[in-house]
Amino acid sequence: MNKNDLKVISFLAYKNISKSKATFFVIVAVMAMSFLSITFFAAIIDGLGYEFEEGMIRGLTGHLMIEPSADSRYLENADSMVGKIKKIPEVVGVSKRVEASAVATHKTIQLGVPIFFVNPDDERQVSRFSESVVLGDYLSRKDNAELIIGTDLVEAYTREDDAKKSLDVTVGDTIQLSFSNGMVKEYKIKGIFKTGSQFSDNNILINYDDYEDIFHESDVASAILVALPSRGREEEFTRKIIDLGVTDQINPWQSKMGKVKQFIGSLQITNTITGVVGLFTAFATIYIIIFINVTNKRKQIGILKAVGIKKEIILGSYVLQSLIYGVAGVVIGIIAMQGLIALLTVYPLSMPIGNVVPILTTNRLVTTAITLILASIVAWFFPSKKAANDNILEAIFGG
């Protein structure tokens, strides 16, 4: 194979493609659509999984969750710890929480509810509650005897067929909370929030100051949540927090996923299976189209051989064509996919678990792109190799 051969190869490939533009567009469109169909579904699933995790992170765990070691119930000196961690550069937010439970009473309904006592300002940087208020207002710094409540606890927002009990309340109503220490207190509902995550929407948030009033303990926390600039930097920041002298458990969000992990794991298995099936389907489609196309070129291949064009050049020109088809299809597929993602980022799919934005990982993009291009090359290679090895006379005169 020398430079001149490459010239003839490119010349033949160019002529073949430019002389059958319709075929070119059909094949490229099929490849692009295959790319889209494989990656789009996967990206939605990935986005769904991401959103699911995000619901946990932005509701229950933060990126890092500092918890008391096994032998103690609370973190002590929570405020100074929060203050110190906040000073670590790039840390987005730090918030202490005390988790408690109470029995909520409204009219005749009694309901056990989980409570987070939080500092409303700190919570803004760590969780989604502040931005998820659908009715009324978020907690403010000085709130006393006011709470915000998740939609899963509010009858107006729960589905009728939902077997769980809920409270027939709205903003402005008063409910009674009985705490484990026997304390009973009336609270006014200041706001109703819906984060979209089932892990958060069945909670009640109350100002941390109230916790001190009710339990007469201060400066404690059942957990401190740390929000980082992005996922994937958990270890780095864990080290920085340890360097501050924190001896409590520092758990990355991943270790808190439990059921979510299984759920997402099964999503990913589904994803892999549909991905493989999709690739096979795409491969078969591409193979058939290209096979027919190359079969139609059998005579051309025969003539080229008859007039003395060597096999390597003929094959080379077909491999080059397949590369061009493959790359063009994949590139257009990627552009269309990025367009779709951009569109869905602006107008996310509103799913029950929250707003899902499709996520196309580089890994999946590259795998799909390479597989499709390879599929295209294989689909061209075998039929054209067969044609190039065929008896010249049969190829030309159709035996």
Partner 1 sequence: MNKVIISAKKVERIYSNGIVRTYALKDVSVDIQQGEFVAIMGPSGSGKSTLLHQLGLLDNPTNGSILIDGEDVVQLSDDTRTRFRLEKLGYVFQSYNLIPELTALENVYITPMARGMPEEEYTAKAKEMLTKVGLGDRMDHYPSELSGGQQQRVSIARALVNKPKILFADEPTANLDSDSSADTIRLFRQLNKEIGQTIVMVTHEENEGKQADRIIWIKDGIIDKAKK
Q: Is 21 helix (H, G, I), strand (E, B) or coil?
A: helix
What would the two tokens of residue 319 be?
């491999």
Least spacing, CB of residue 324 vs partner 1, in Å: 15
Question: For residues 59 and 196, what is the distance between their CA atoms, to the nearest angstrom?
Answer: 10
Question: CB-wise, 9 or 289, nearer to partner 1?
Answer: 9
The reply on whether position 216 binds partner 1 by CB under 8 A is: no
Question: CB-wise, 109 or 396, nearer to partner 1?
Answer: 396
Question: For residues 312 and 317, what is the distance between their CA atoms, to the nearest angstrom?
Answer: 8
- Ramachandran angles phi, psi of 111, nearest 5°: -145, 130
Helices 311-346, 259-296: crossing angle, 10 deg rounding: 140
Least spacing, CB of residue 286 vs partner 1, in Å: 21
Question: How many CB atoms are closer than 10 A to CB 232?
Answer: 9
Least spacing, CB of residue 337 vs partner 1, in Å: 32
Question: For residues 142 and 124, what is the distance between their CA atoms, to the nearest angstrom?
Answer: 15
Interacting span for partner 1 (CB under 8 A) from 44-52, 61-69, 320-328, 389-397: 389-397
Question: For residues 239 and 250, what is the distance between their CA atoms, to the nearest angstrom?
Answer: 9
Half-sphere exposure of 163 (CA within 13 A, CB side): 0
Least spacing, CB of residue 395 vs partner 1, in Å: 10
Query: Using an 8 Å Cβ cutoff, are 92 and 231 in contact?
Result: no
Question: CB-wise, 2 or 230, nearer to partner 1?
Answer: 2
Q: Whose structure tokens read 């404690």?
A: 220
Which residues ranging from 300 to 339 are in contact with partner 1 (CB under 8 A)?
Answer: 300, 303-311, 313
Q: Is 67 left (phi over 0), alpha (psi -120 to 50) or beta?
A: beta
Amino acid type, 83 = G
- One of 4, 69, 247, 362 touching partner 1 (CB under 8 A): 4
The reply on whether position 6 binds partner 1 by CB under 8 A is: no
# binding residues, partner 1 (CB under 8 A): 27
Question: CB-wise, 331 or 396, nearer to partner 1?
Answer: 396
Question: CB-wise, 352 or 399, nearer to partner 1?
Answer: 399
Computed on alpha carbons and rounded to an integer, the radius of gyration of the chain in Å comes to: 31
The reply on whether position 144 binds partner 1 by CB under 8 A is: no
Widest Cα–Cα separation across the chain? 100
The reply on whether position 251 binds partner 1 by CB under 8 A is: no
Least spacing, CB of residue 54 vs partner 1, in Å: 54
Helices 298-306, 362-389: crossing angle, 10 deg rounding: 60
The reply on whether position 23 binds partner 1 by CB under 8 A is: no
Least spacing, CB of residue 393 vs partner 1, in Å: 6
Question: CB-wise, 256 or 305, nearer to partner 1?
Answer: 305
The reply on whether position 391 binds partner 1 by CB under 8 A is: yes
Question: CB-wise, 183 or 306, nearer to partner 1?
Answer: 306
By the 10 Å C-beta count (0-12 exposed, 13-18 middle, 19+ buried), 368 is classed as buried
Least spacing, CB of residue 288 vs partner 1, in Å: 22
Residues lying near partner 1 in the complex (CB under 8 A) are found at: 2, 4-5, 7-8, 11-12, 15-16, 19-20, 299-300, 303-311, 313, 391-393, 396
